[in-house]
Amino acid sequence: MRWYLTGVVVSGFGTTAMWLVSGIWVKSLTGSDSLAALAAFALWAPVLLGPLLGTLADRVRRRPLLVVLNLAMAGLLPVLLWVESADRVWLLFAVLVLYGAQGAVHEAAEQALVATVVDEGRRGTFNGLRMTANESMKLIAPLVAAGLFAAYGGGPVALLDAASFAVAAVLFALMPVREARPARPESRNWWRETAEGVRLLRASRVLRPLVATGAFTLLLAGVNGAAIYAVVDRGLGHSPAYAGVLYAVQGIGSVLAGLLTGPLLRRIPERTLAAAGLALFAVAVGVRGALPYEATALAASAVIGLGLPWVLVAVMTAVQREAPAEAVGRVAATANTLVMAPNALALALGAGLVAVTDTRVLLPLLALTGLAWATWLAARGGTPPRGGNRPAGRDGWAHGTAPSAAPPPPAP
């Protein structure tokens, strides 16, 4: 756990720095706001191919895959030193797309490795600490990256990120983990293996509502994110830069959420934690919209940071437990795609809604829909018996759809 979490901290620092600087870099070279926004999309877009990319995590041993992925990015990022003018911005976009693809495979491999080597009773704590490690870097890395870019440009930030990947590769290589080589599937058809991950997720009575809750929460979060500048400007009367203060306070809440997750998951099921997280998030969003005062805005940001990670960690922990051991990578990548994709749609939707709707009306409406969904999730029947990553026949899977009940369907 120590080696892994240290690797998460190091790579998270570099990734957060690069995520922030990529848009600024494009804007400074081209002067285009739309191209700057497209930089974030280039990083995010490969998530849409998550089910396909996650199949790789089930074909090879996960720890060596993590090492190779980090070394590959450490070798790739220095090419960004050549991005010195607007006519070379295409190279930055190409690297960002590969960066996002690497991230999708990396996420699937991490979740599969955790499901394989961490005891079920400790996974909630482990995932909470992982969330804390990631969020803590979001409090530090943006300041370092912004200062480095202002002084020296984007090249040194790319080198810093490359160094973080190299260090993370060493740390992952040093993890004292023993993995068996994954069993060779009967069919080596990539599309059929990908379709199997989708089918397994659809068949699970435990994962379906949790993944749907994660997707719905990120949909609300996207609309809320699109409204943040309207809240800062029209509601609080501050300059747009004040949004950074709200995000920093939200980050503090997320760090606290990670520390509390483990103890909570030892006492309540993932479904209850997700419902509580969504309810906290919804109430905070509604309060920040209905009561546009500085104190309530700061308090609401902290509560948003507390509630939102609980939903995501609940989904992650349930996937690690419920998915068959030989398919955790595919199921995790599919779940990640389904949960994250609505956020991009909601950012565009929210931009349109903010233009025509007062945030004092829009955000309380979001809160009501979020509370309604949280109530529905909390009222669902009890969680099926825990299966501990057995390959088939668990009660958590719908009747007749256990992983070994039938060969995977043909790819669409």
Residue 106 structure tokens: 């990396």
pLDDT digits (tens, 9 = 90+) for 50-81: 788 878 777 788 889 999 999 999 999 999 99
Residues sharing a CB contact under 8 Å with residue 375, sequence separation 6 or more, in sequence order:
275, 279
Was domain 1-176 assigned CATH 1.20.1250.20?
yes
For the chain, counts of helices (H) and of strands (E): 15, 0
Q: What is the pLDDT of residue 407?
A: 30
- Confidence category of residue 184, pLDDT binned at 50, 70, 90: low
Short-list 128, 157, 122, CA closest to 143: 157
Nearest alpha-carbon partner for 19 in 127, 187, 158:
158
CATH 1.20.1250.20 domain residues, the chain: 1-176, 200-380
Tell me the percentage of the chain whose pLDDT exceeds 90: 30
Residue 174 has phi, psi (to 5 degrees) of -85, -5
Q: How confident is the model at residue 219 (pLDDT cuts 50, 70, 90)?
A: very high
Check if the beta carbon of residue 217 is closer than 8 Å to that of residue 308.
yes
Alpha helices, DSSP H, located in 118-241: 120-152, 154-174, 190-203, 207-226, 228-230
The pTM for the full model equals 0.73
pLDDT, position 311: 94
23-55 pLDDT, tens digit each: 888 888 888 766 776 777 788 778 878 788 878
**Res 158 pLDDT > 50:** yes
Please, where are the H alpha helices in 31-57?
33-44, 50-54
Average pLDDT value for the chain: 82
3-class state of residue 2 by DSSP: helix
* CATH code linked to domain 200-380: 1.20.1250.20
Average pLDDT rounded to a whole number, residues 158-175: 93
Do 221 and 346 touch, CB atoms closer than 8 A? yes
| Rounded mean pLDDT, 132-161 | 85
DSSP structure class, residue 385: P
The residues pairing with 397 across neighbouring beta strands, listed in sequence order, are 204
Tokens (6 digits) for 335: 């779940």
**pLDDT at 210 > cutoff 50:** yes
Q: What percent of the chain has pLDDT over 70?
A: 87
Average pLDDT over residues 1-12: 83
Where residue 169 falls among pLDDT bands split at 50, 70, 90? very high
Q: What are the tens digits of pLDDT across the range 366-408?
A: 999 999 999 999 987 544 444 444 443 333 333 333 333 333 3
Q: Express each pLDDT in 270-295 by its tens digit.
A: 999 999 999 999 999 999 989 989 99
Q: How would you class 269 by CB atoms within 10 Å of its CB: exposed for 0-12, middle for 13-18, buried for 19 or more?
A: middle
What pLDDT, on the 0 to 100 scale, is given for residue 185? Answer: 59
Mean pLDDT, rounded, for 325-330: 78
> 204 has which bridge partners?
397
- Residues 159-165 have a mean pLDDT of 94
- Predicted confidence band at 203 (pLDDT cuts at 50, 70, 90)? confident
- Identify which has the larger pLDDT, 122 or 276: 276
Please tell me the distance from the alpha carbon of residue 135 to that of residue 129, in angstroms, as a whole number: 10
Measured CA to CA, the distance from residue 325 to residue 309 in angstroms comes to 25
Could you tell me which of 324, 325, 322, 77 has the C-alpha nearest to residue 179?
325
Helix ranges, 227-358 (H): 228-230, 243-265, 270-290, 294-322, 328-356
- In this predicted model, which residue has the larger pLDDT, 96 or 238? 96
Torsion angles phi and psi, residue 238, rounded to 5:
-105, 170
Neighbour-count burial of 6, counting CB atoms closer than 10 A to its CB (0-12 exposed, 13-18 middle, 19+ buried): middle
User: Alpha-carbon distance 103 to 106, whole Å?
Assistant: 5
In terms of pLDDT, which residue wins out, 409 or 174? Answer: 174
Which pLDDT score is estimated for 182? 66
